[in-house]
Amino acid sequence: MHIDEANLSNLTNLWLLYGSQPVKATRLLQTNTHWPYRCWIDWNAQSDDDTAKLQGDVNDNRWLENIPESAIFPLWQAISANNKLLASIFDPQVIEQLLLDQHWYCAFEQTAMYLALSGDIRHVSQMRAGFKVKPVDTFEDIKTWADIGSEAFSYQIDLSVIQQLINVDDIQLLLGWDNNQPIASGLLYKTGDIIGVHQVGVKQAFQGKGFAKCFMRDIVAACAKWQGKHVVLQASQAGKPLYEKLGFKSQFLIKNFRRV
């Protein structure tokens, strides 16, 4: 699997783990009815429809009406080797124009990025006095994790969604502690030899002090220890410079749309 497709697969499979369901009116859309409120084109959907009908469905803007009001609709360049029919039909430029015509707007952008892991010294955790990274293993830790992420991102993370992940073998929930105070949170999700880094946040009072870089170095070291070959993530515009300094390479843009 190409690294671009592996990045998307890791991300969308995590949304599935968060709890999603097919949109009833079409077999091509999946949606989270709760946080993180994503609704996306399911590239793994199988359809018996012919090409002309699928093309007609895309051009008919009524399919947009089936997206929940609260949903964030992510749009990226089609990168599906498994379903070339869908990839050829769902032209992101066409869909973006449909969204704009129906009074949607791009709320924020992310850059998909990856890092190849090796024995390079950059992948070794660099100690910072008083700072430690520990796995989440108690209910109180889960609540702390969700509280830190909610503050860092200025939206409410659904605690019940995170609780159901604690016993998933391919998930690691991590907390960063500074002198016995929890200040950072992150989630690792492993799909094959790909490890996705998600929900990395630092409490507002500790931002701008180098903790994010220190935390990410520890996270990359944890990924190497977990025997991943590549680390993938989706960077905000604010976070992208940090990831570039850590050696991450840009892949493609993700535009996230909402209704006006």
- At 220-235, the pLDDT tens digits run 999 999 999 999 999 9
pLDDT at 51: 59
Does residue 120 surpass a pLDDT of 60? no
Give the per-residue pLDDT at 86.
65
Whether residues 25 and 90 share a domain: the answer is yes
Domain residue limits at 58? 3-112
Q: Are residues 8 and 89 in the same domain?
A: yes
Same domain, 34 and 19: yes
Does the residue 234 lie in any domain? no
Same domain? For 103 and 131 the reply is no
Mean pLDDT on 73-91: 71
Tokens for 50? Answer: 């012919």
In DSSP terms, 22 is beta-bridged to 30
Closest CA to 199 of 252, 253, 136: 136
Same-domain status, 77 and 135? no
- Do 127 and 194 fall into the same domain? yes
Note whether 105 and 151 are same-domain residues: no
The H-assigned helical ranges of the chain are 3-19, 51-59, 84-89, 92-101, 139-153, 159-163, 211-225, 240-245
Q: How many domains does the chain fold into? A: 2
| pLDDT tens figures, 146-157 | 999 999 999 999
Q: Report the CATH number at residue 167.
A: 3.40.630.30
**171 plus 82 within the same structural domain:** no
Is 9 domain-assigned?
yes
Q: 133 and 101: one domain?
A: no
Is residue 149 located within the same domain as residue 196? yes
104 falls within a domain? yes
Residue 188 in domain: yes
Asked if residue 128 belongs to a domain, the reply is: yes
Identify the three-state secondary structure at position 194: strand
Amino acid in the structure at residue 124: V
Distance CA 155, CA 152 (A): 8
In a domain, 233, yes or no: no
Domain boundary among 54, 80, 112: 112
Query: What's the pLDDT band for 65 if we cut at 50, 70, 90?
Result: confident
Nearest alpha-carbon partner for 74 in 49, 99, 50: 99
Does residue 184 fall inside a structural domain? yes
| Whether residue 153 is found in the same domain as residue 104 | no
Answer whether residue 139 shows pLDDT above 90.
yes
Q: Is the pLDDT of residue 170 over 90?
A: yes
Pairing of strands 230-236, 194-202: parallel
Q: Is the same domain home to 104 and 202?
A: no
Nearby residues of 154 by Cβ (< 8 Å), 6 or more positions away: none
